[in-house]
Amino acid sequence: MQYLERAKLGLVKLNVNGRDVEIGDDYADGSLLWALRDGAGLCGTKFGCGVGICGSCTVHVDGRPARSCLVPVAAVADAEITTIEALAGENGELHEVLRAFIEEQVPQCAWCMNGQIMTAVAFLRATPDPDEDEIAAALDANYCRCGCYARIRRAVARAAKALRGRSDD
Ligand code: FES
Ligand code: FES
Q: By C-alpha distance, which of 37, 36, 68 is closest to 55?
A: 68
Pair (49, 114) in one structural domain: no
What pLDDT score does 6 carry?
A: 47
Residues 32 and 100 in one domain: no
Q: Which pLDDT score is estimated for 9?
A: 54
In a domain, 129, yes or no: yes
pLDDT in tens, 70-120: 999 999 999 999 999 999 998 889 999 999 999 999 999 999 999 999 999
Which helix H or strand E contains 12, and what residues bound it?
strand 11-16
Residue 7 has pLDDT above 80, yes or no: no
CATH number (domain holding residue 119): 1.10.150.120
Pairing of strands 80-82, 58-61: antiparallel
| Residue-range definition of the domain harbouring residue 129 | 96-163
What would the mean pLDDT of 2-18 be, rounded to a whole number?
71
Q: Choose one of 87, 113, 135: the last residue of a domain.
A: 87
- Written as one letter, the residue type at 129 is D
Residue type, 64: R
Pocket of ligand 2 (CB under 6 A): 107-112, 144-146, 148
Q: Can you tell me which atom of ligand 1 is nearest the CA of 47?
A: 1
Question: Is residue 168 assigned to a domain?
Answer: no
Ligand nearest to the CA of 147: 2
Burial of 5 (0-12, 13-18, 19+ CB in 10 A): exposed
Which of 53, 111, 113 to mutate for ligand 1's pocket (most ligand atoms within 8 Å of CB)?
A: 53
List the CATH number of the domain containing 51: 3.10.20.30
- Tell me which DSSP letter residue 93 carries: P
Q: For residues 127 and 135, what is the distance between their CA atoms, to the nearest angstrom? A: 9
Give the end of a domain, one of 42, 67, 87.
87
For residue 50, give Cα distances in angstroms to 21, 23, 71, 148: 23, 21, 11, 21
pLDDT confidence of residue 109: 97
Distance of CA 153 to the CA centre of its chain: 17
Please state, in angstroms and as integers, the Cα–Cα distance from residue 147 to each residue in 101, 119, 142, following that order.
15, 17, 11
In a domain, 30, yes or no: yes
| pLDDT tens per residue, range 32-71 | 999 999 999 999 999 999 999 999 999 999 999 999 999 9
Domain boundary among 50, 65, 87: 87
Strands 11-16 and 19-24: antiparallel
Q: Is the pLDDT of residue 164 over 70?
A: yes
Quick check: is 169 in a domain? no
Partners of residue 24 on adjacent β-strands: 11
Structural domains in the chain (count): 2
pLDDT digits (tens, 9 = 90+) for 135-145: 999 999 999 99
Query: What is the per-residue pLDDT for 121?
Result: 98
pLDDT value of residue 11 = 83
- pLDDT for 84 equals 98
Does residue 139 belong to any structural domain of this protein? Answer: yes
At residue 25, the pLDDT reads 87
